[in-house]
A and B are shown apart, each in its own frame.
Chain A
Amino acid sequence: AQSVTQLDSQVPVFEEAPVELRCNYSSSVSVYLFWYVQYPNQGLQLLLKYLSGSTLVESINGFEAEFNKSQTSFHLRKPSVHISDTAEYFCAVSDKSNFGNEKLTFGTGTRLTIIP
């Protein structure tokens, strides 16, 4: 079984400031790691995912996340946020060995609010 912890339920950040959203996971097996974003009144969308290889993964809108195996973390960062980044961000994992069913285990989410 896996679990995901997002300690920060809400993060307010000034526009153009950097941000880090923290995610830690616990699992007895190897996992894939994901960040999903939910904009107001929209469904969940995949932001980025870590499968293997380079521990740093990037999204098309300037976010990046780094997989740290020793700390079992997958923190999400952006060097300069924009008003349009206001959303709820969910970290999730799936069992790498369970090819037939890649159900996701989500954290409780972090609401990112950008202050103009």
Chain B
Amino acid sequence: DTGVSQDPRHKITKRGQNVTFRCDPISEHNRLYWYRQTLGQGPEFLTYFQNEAQLEKSRLLSDRFSAERPKGSFSTLEIQRTEQGDSAMYLCASSFPRGRSAETQYFGPGTRLLVL
């Protein structure tokens, strides 16, 4: 179990540029979540995949955001035409539900985005 990994760990970009983040979940986990955490706040849900299907998107996810999970393995989160308000920590989590018990989500270290 190598844990959830995210790449890059830090990204600085200029307003208007596009950025893409990658998340590699724990290998047997079929559920993958993206969250965003701004300074002084707790993580907020963005979107959720079960295998390759994106099943829910938060209203926080504007049209400039897109997420994919081809083949149900790694996932990418792309932000087009970045704005200063996009500056945040982007967290990825994965899980493998067992029966009807509450699943445990395993979080990656996050990608910190700074938009200048």
The answer to whether B41 and A108 touch across the interface, beta carbons within 8 angstroms, is: yes
Report B61-114 residues with CB < 8 Å from chain A CB: 91, 93, 95, 97, 100-110
Inter-chain pairs besides A43-B110, A44-B107, 17 sampled, C-beta below 8 Å: A34-B102, A42-B109, A43-B3, A44-B91, A44-B93, A46-B104, A46-B105, A102-B95, A103-B48, A103-B56, A104-B45, A104-B105, A106-B42, A107-B42, A108-B41, A109-B41, A109-B42
- In the complex, chain A residues whose CB is within 8 Å of the CB of B104: 46, 49
> Which A residues lie within 8 Å of B100 (CB)?
99
30 A-B interface contacts by CB (under 8 A): A6-B42, A32-B102, A36-B107, A43-B3, A43-B4, A43-B107, A43-B109, A43-B110, A44-B43, A44-B93, A44-B107, A45-B107, A46-B104, A46-B106, A94-B102, A99-B97, A100-B50, A100-B55, A101-B48, A101-B55, A102-B31, A102-B102, A102-B103, A103-B33, A103-B56, A104-B35, A105-B45, A106-B42, A108-B41, A109-B42
Question: Quick one: which of B56, B93, B101, B107 contacts A101, CB cutoff 8 A?
Answer: B56
Instruction: State A43–B6 Cα separation when bound (angstroms).
Output: 11
B102 touches A103 (CB 8 A): no
Residues in chain A near residue B105, CB distance under 8 A? 46, 102, 104
Total contacting residues, chain B, CB less than 8 A: 30
B residues sitting closer than 8 Å to A (CB atoms) are: 3-4, 31, 33, 35, 40-45, 48, 50, 55-56, 91, 93, 95, 97, 100-110
Shortest Cβ distance from A6 into B: residue: B42
Q: A51 in the interface, Cβ–Cβ < 8 Å?
A: yes
Q: Footprint of B on A, CB under 8 Å? A: 4, 6, 9, 32, 34, 36, 42-46, 49, 51, 90, 92, 94, 96, 99-109
**Which of A4, A44, A104, A108 has its CB near the most chain B CB atoms (within 10 A)?**
A44
Contact B56 A43 (CB under 8 A): no
Are the C-beta atoms of A106 and B91 separated by less than 8 Å? no
